[in-house]
Chains A and B, each alone.
Chain A
Amino acid sequence: MSWSWDHFMRFLFSEYMLNGVWTTIWLATLAMLIGCTLGVIIAFMKMSRNIAVRTFANTYIWLWRGTPLLVQMVIIYTVLPKVGLKLGVIESAIIALSLHEAAYFAEIVRSGILSVNKGQDDASRALGMTWAQRMRYVIVPQATRIVIPPLGNQFNLMIKTTSLASVISMEELFRRTQQLAQIEFKVLEAYMCAACWYLLMTTIWGQIQKMLEAHYDRPFGPVADAADPKSGKPLGDAAAQV
């Protein structure tokens, strides 16, 4: 089997494959958006005082993290129609990916919220804030920066995980690659193309993630190495004491 640059380059920029790349991008983005929204809801349910609500959240996380996404996807696409809930390929893929993501993101959000210093909750309660006010004005703004790095990693995973949707015949990058390989009998070239495209997508996301993390990682307030105009001491010093 000889490597053909000609085929490789033709596959790489073929409209057929580019469409697959685009499908992967929007599928990953949409599933991430829905998954994160649901994840936040489930995270708060897991922290609820109500035992029924908490149990629901725990069971949800247990089920979706405890079974393979591939199995979940096939069940949603093939089994649900048998009980009367008929979903198309695209809907099934979006639902499976986002419900799966929600279970993981719920744990990320919960640990982010729990990692905010207990004193912040004390102080905001002492000021007379209700639970919702404490969350909105004090806890969530601080938890956000803790959640950002794992959130970025989840999206990196999501870009690659969308390839599983090929098993229910979702026409994303991986399935298109499979089909190209079969039509032209150039397996290696086709899969190398796919690898390149996935790598490009995750690399670009990696750069965006870096920028996001840099934005959220700097200390609160102006840059810390500026000197205090009065004492001439670096302002960062005070932060180290606390």
Chain B
Amino acid sequence: MEKPATSPRSGRTLGPPIVICDKVVKQFGSNVVLREVSLTVRQGEVVVIAGRSGSGKSTLLRCIDHLETIEGGTINACGHLMGYRVDRLGRRTELPDRKVARQRRDMGMVFQSFNLFPHLNVLHNITLAPVRISGEEAAEAERHARELLDKVGLPDKADAYPSQLSGGQQQRVAIARALAMRPRVMLFDEPTSALDPEMISEVLDVMIGLSDGGMTMIVVTHEMGFARAAADRVLLMHGGEIVEDAPPDAFFDAPESEHTRLFLSKIL
């Protein structure tokens, strides 16, 4: 696992593994959503996860941030064993809320439905967590927030409220809000699925910019154009398993799995 790796996309050398999912099992009642899923993502890597709805791709992403409990396996992210403590006998107990909260601060997450805080303006959406949770100084947090708003192309929206923004603008604010915590990994859960077609590219452009900047990203999306442009690896999930894991060229031109061929024939 420790052999040096280079990204076929950028030619950059990738760092050590930063997210390691090992035989993750997730069940909702008797419905098994993830079947021993294993996945390693290296620092600086951009991984796109595709698949039909119900294939488990969003659930996997949510498990990485421990927004969902898992029934089996382990997830190691940014040096934390996410959500659990394992004793010498191998028994798992869920960590208290406070500890999980601390673990999550190393990762940022962007949701399909944006989930901006409607009662706060854009600036306060972005500075809330750094100031209240990380104890950052208000002035410094604001400076950083304005820098991030610049980066996502919304320098003049600091005082606007979420209800005054378009979907694409809201999603870009949501990205800035996640970045404000200076995460080491960014998780994107279908970030463009709720957007009108003409707003998709403005969000994808920001994401491509992030990946160019070396951010480690795990992106659940149907946007295969983004996968081609920015991904180091593209995964296909089907029935709670990863059935394809390949660099974009191989994924699109010479997929190994029948499921991938079927998926591509429907989506392209």
A residues near B, CB below 8 A?
A: 117, 119-120, 122-131, 133, 137-138, 141-142, 219-222, 224, 228, 230, 235-236, 238-239, 241-242
What is the predominant secondary structure among interface residues of chain A facing chain B? helix
Nearest-neighbor residue (CB-CB) of B66 within chain A: A125
User: Taking A126-B178, A133-B132, A242-B170 as contacts, is the C-beta distance between A221 and B104 under 8 angstroms?
Assistant: no
Instruction: Specify which chain A residues have a CB less than 8 angstroms from the CB of B132 in the assembled complex.
Output: 129, 133, 137
User: Taking A122-B67, A122-B115 as contacts, is the C-beta distance between A129 and B101 under 8 angstroms?
Assistant: yes
Docked Cα-Cα span, A142 to B117, in Å, equals 9
> Is A238 within 8 A of B164, CB to CB?
yes
Docked Cα-Cα span, A228 to B129, in Å, equals 28
Q: How far is the CB of A25 from chain B (nearest CB, A)?
A: 32
User: Taking A219-B163, A220-B163, A238-B163 as contacts, is the C-beta distance between A127 and B178 under 8 angstroms?
Assistant: yes
> Is A141 within 8 A of B119, CB to CB?
yes
Instruction: Specify which chain B residues have a CB less than 8 angstroms from the CB of A117 in the assembled complex.
Output: 115
> Is B161 within 8 A of A130, CB to CB?
no
Docked Cα-Cα span, A137 to B177, in Å, equals 15
Nearest-neighbor residue (CB-CB) of B128 within chain A: A137
Instruction: Specify which chain B residues have a CB less than 8 angstroms from the CB of A125 in the assembled complex.
Output: 65, 67, 101, 104
> Is A127 within 8 A of B163, CB to CB?
no
Residue of B104, B117, B161, B169 near A128 (CB, 8 A) is: B104
- From B32-40, B106-114, B200-208, B256-264, the one touching the partner chain is B106-114
B166 CB within 8 Å of chain A:
yes
Query: Chain B: interface residue count, which band?
Result: 35 or more
Q: How far is the CB of A144 from chain B (nearest CB, A)?
A: 9
B76 CB within 8 Å of chain A:
no
Q: How far is the CB of A140 from chain B (nearest CB, A)?
A: 10
Pick from A124, A228, A230 the residue with the most CB of B within 10 Å. Answer: A124
Instruction: Specify which chain A residues have a CB less than 8 angstroms from the CB of B253 in the assembled complex.
Output: none
Nearest-neighbor residue (CB-CB) of A123 within chain B: B115
Instruction: Specify which chain B residues have a CB less than 8 angstroms from the CB of A241 in the assembled complex.
Output: 166-167, 196
Q: How far is the CB of B141 from chain A (nearest CB, A)?
A: 13
Q: How far is the CB of A44 from chain B (nearest CB, A)?
A: 14
> Is A224 within 8 A of B67, CB to CB?
no
> Is B129 within 8 A of A129, CB to CB?
yes
Instruction: Specify which chain B residues have a CB less than 8 angstroms from the CB of A138 in the assembled complex.
Output: 117
Nearest-neighbor residue (CB-CB) of B117 within chain A: A138
Instruction: Specify which chain A residues have a CB less than 8 angstroms from the CB of B107 in the assembled complex.
Output: 126
27 contacts between A and B (CB under 8 A): A119-B111, A120-B117, A122-B111, A125-B67, A126-B67, A126-B107, A127-B129, A127-B177, A128-B101, A128-B104, A128-B105, A128-B129, A129-B132, A129-B133, A142-B117, A142-B119, A220-B118, A220-B120, A221-B160, A221-B161, A221-B162, A230-B156, A235-B163, A238-B163, A238-B167, A241-B196, A242-B114
Contact with A along B142-179 (1 / 0, CB 8 A): 00000000000000100011111111011000100110
> Is A130 within 8 A of B115, CB to CB?
no
B91 CB within 8 Å of chain A:
no
Docked Cα-Cα span, A138 to B65, in Å, equals 19
Nearest-neighbor residue (CB-CB) of A219 within chain B: B163
Instruction: Specify which chain A residues have a CB less than 8 angstroms from the CB of B85 in the assembled complex.
Output: none
User: Taking A137-B128, A137-B132, A142-B118 as contacts, is the C-beta distance between A126 and B109 under 8 angstroms?
Assistant: yes
Docked Cα-Cα span, A230 to B97, in Å, equals 44
Instruction: Specify which chain A residues have a CB less than 8 angstroms from the CB of B165 in the assembled complex.
Output: 238
Q: How far is the CB of B231 from chain A (nearest CB, A)?
A: 22
Docked Cα-Cα span, A219 to B162, in Å, equals 10
Docked Cα-Cα span, A122 to B117, in Å, equals 11
Nearest-neighbor residue (CB-CB) of A127 within chain B: B129
> Is A123 within 8 A of B111, CB to CB?
yes
> A125-B104, A128-B101 provided; 12 other pairs, C-beta below 8 A?
A122-B109, A122-B115, A123-B116, A123-B117, A126-B67, A127-B177, A127-B181, A128-B133, A129-B132, A129-B133, A224-B164, A238-B167
Instruction: Specify which chain B residues have a CB less than 8 angstroms from the CB of A131 in the assembled complex.
Output: 97
Docked Cα-Cα span, A122 to B169, in Å, equals 20
Docked Cα-Cα span, A230 to B98, in Å, equals 43
Which residues 60-75 in B have Cβ within 8 Å of A in the complex?
Answer: 65, 67
